[in-house]
Amino acid sequence: MLVPMTSSLPNSGPEAQGLPARAVQNFVEAAESAGLELHSFVLLRRGHLIAQGAWAPFSLEQPHALFSVSKSFVSTAVGLAVGEGLLSIDDPVLSFFPEFRPEVVSAHLAAMRVRDLLTMTTGHARGLAESLTGVLQEGQPQPWAQTFLTQSVDFQPGTHFVYNSGGTYMLAAIVERLSGQPLLGYLRPRLFAPLGIGEATWEPNAEGVAVGGWGLSLRVEDMACLGELYRQQGVWKDRQALGEEVRPWRLKDQSILSEDWVEQATSAQVGNQVQGDGGGPHDWNQGYGFQFWRCQHGAYRADGALGQFIVVMPGQEAVLAINSAVDNMQSVLDLVWTHLLPAFEPGPLTPEPGALERLQHKCASLELPPVAGLLDSPFAVRLGGRSYTFEPNVLGLTELRLGSLSGQAELTLSTAEGSFPIMAGMGTWAVNHTRFDHVSTLDPSKDRRVAACAAWTAPDALEVHLNYLNTAATHVLKLRFEQGGEKLELESSSQTTFRVLEPLSLRGTLAR
């Protein structure tokens, strides 16, 4: 089967839903040929799961950090709260936080409404909005809402688009205040349970409030389900009728979300010239809704750093969810517009002989490329068992101990927090459970899944790649042994959520 029957969605071959299997394979192969690191994808048409795949060591069942796709879930929470009469999008933001009201309230701050938080038109200048996100992430001592409300509001709210994660935090905080529940607790019975979304985590700030603008982790199918809810104008389908002709079912006022909310949230409420490319069309200048981006070709999307997407194509009755780790996010969307969007037909297609089997085989054998190099070195046996110590450094690395380097690479990285063994496959990915984490902000007390792969790039040089499977973060260690292994030069480079860190070079001394 192309898709496992454990899915909560009805399964179908792509041709039965009007999409050639070869179009999906062309999309996947084009992404690989372009060197784009996709982690997983789920493709739906008319509510049927028609294709999915994950590039090992990533899996379809592993929750993945959504980054700013989280914003669209916050918007959905606001839509639910509006539907319950807890607030109006025209309520002043200040009205929800009387204890943080500044002594002097500017006219612009007084005019800021919930609507302005939703549309990223709070009136903040671009530099201030960007620095505000950084200040909040750095764990500054005062409450985040207070920090937000004390910033200068330079423009009339509603008139000036500036991407602002701080505004999304305020939306999350408002929902939590009005509902008296954590954001996840509010969403579970209203959204997650009807959509079949199970495991979910949302990073809190020091006050215990969901950070809102980022921090949510879900499976890629869960992402697709949100897109399908919006494609269906707020209506979901009966999960008890899988495999049959399903009929919409509705909650309370005949829907999970109101059709009016979906229309507003996914329409271009404001213009958003945020990335220049000579004025030509691209997917960041099509307009912005309520924490959703408009796309070319009449589509819209939830969008997160490094290529996390929920792309809804209403005209094609299709939804595509993607997790990835790419710098050029437009390149992923361009492949969607080139290979998938124009291939949809209105009715079922006659299957091309062998095409579905080829797609099934391709999706079942997806894997990230291993580290390029040799699988063994004449120095492997001699170096195994050695330990190297380091002077104080920004990585906090105190010692690197080598185990077997034949057939696999066993390393133990020691810091002030403890010693963390990592086993890397030679030319293949090996999954570890470890607390070693140089690149994410997740709870350091919890184990996380890290895939490691190694290869010898020269007889005296070993390269190890670490992929954090809950996110798009990576860590590369390049070890060069000098003077017959008496000295070690270690180069460390990392890709965090938003940027590539400058490589760091450490000198290690053989421990006697």
**Cα–Cα distance for residue pair 396/414, rounded to 1 Å:** 8
How many domains is the chain partitioned into structurally? 3
Residue 233, both tokens: 């104008």
Does 289 share its domain with 162?
no
**Cα–Cα distance for residue pair 223/202, rounded to 1 Å:** 14
Does 430 share its domain with 497?
yes
- Is position 269 within any domain? no
Does 182 share its domain with 230?
no
Does 69 share its domain with 213?
yes
Q: How far apart are the first and last CA of the chain?
A: 56
The pTM (predicted TM-score) of the whole model is: 0.93
- E strands, 271-417, in order: 293-294, 300-304, 308-313, 318-324, 387-390, 399-402, 408-415
Task: Answer whether 136's CB lies under 8 Å from 169's CB.
Answer: yes
Residue numbers of the domain that contains 40:
15-62+223-240+274-364
The predicted pLDDT at position 435 comes to 78
The predicted pLDDT at position 279 comes to 61
Domain boundary among 301, 332, 364: 364
Does 48 share its domain with 81?
no
Does 164 share its domain with 103?
yes
The predicted pLDDT at position 278 comes to 54
The predicted pLDDT at position 496 comes to 67
Does 87 share its domain with 232?
no
Does 31 share its domain with 97?
no
SS (H, E, C) 222-244: HHHHHHHHHHCCCCEECHHHCCC
- Is position 265 within any domain? no
Q: What is the dihedral of CA 406, 464, 437, 65, to 10 degrees?
A: -120
Q: Which pLDDT tens digits describe the chain residue by residue (512 residues)? A: 344 435 779 999 999 999 999 999 999 999 999 999 999 999 999 999 999 999 999 999 999 999 999 999 999 999 999 999 999 999 999 999 999 999 999 999 999 999 999 999 999 998 888 888 888 877 678 899 999 999 999 999 999 999 999 999 999 999 999 999 999 999 999 999 999 999 999 999 999 999 999 999 999 999 999 999 999 999 997 544 333 343 444 444 458 999 999 999 999 999 987 544 456 779 999 999 999 999 999 999 999 999 999 999 999 999 999 999 998 999 999 999 999 999 999 999 999 999 999 999 999 999 999 999 999 999 999 999 999 999 999 888 999 999 999 999 999 999 988 999 999 999 999 999 887 766 554 455 567 899 999 999 999 999 999 999 999 889 999 999 999 899 999 999 987 655 556 688 999 999 97
**Cα–Cα distance for residue pair 69/216, rounded to 1 Å:** 8
**Cα–Cα distance for residue pair 92/30, rounded to 1 Å:** 48
- Is position 394 within any domain? yes
The predicted pLDDT at position 339 comes to 98
Buried b (16+ CB within 10 A) or exposed e, 478-502: bbbbeeeeeebebebebbbbeeeee
147 burial (CB, 10 Å; 0-12 / 13-18 / 19+) is: middle
Does 40 share its domain with 81?
no
Does 31 share its domain with 125?
no
Does 411 share its domain with 422?
yes
Does 45 share its domain with 67?
no
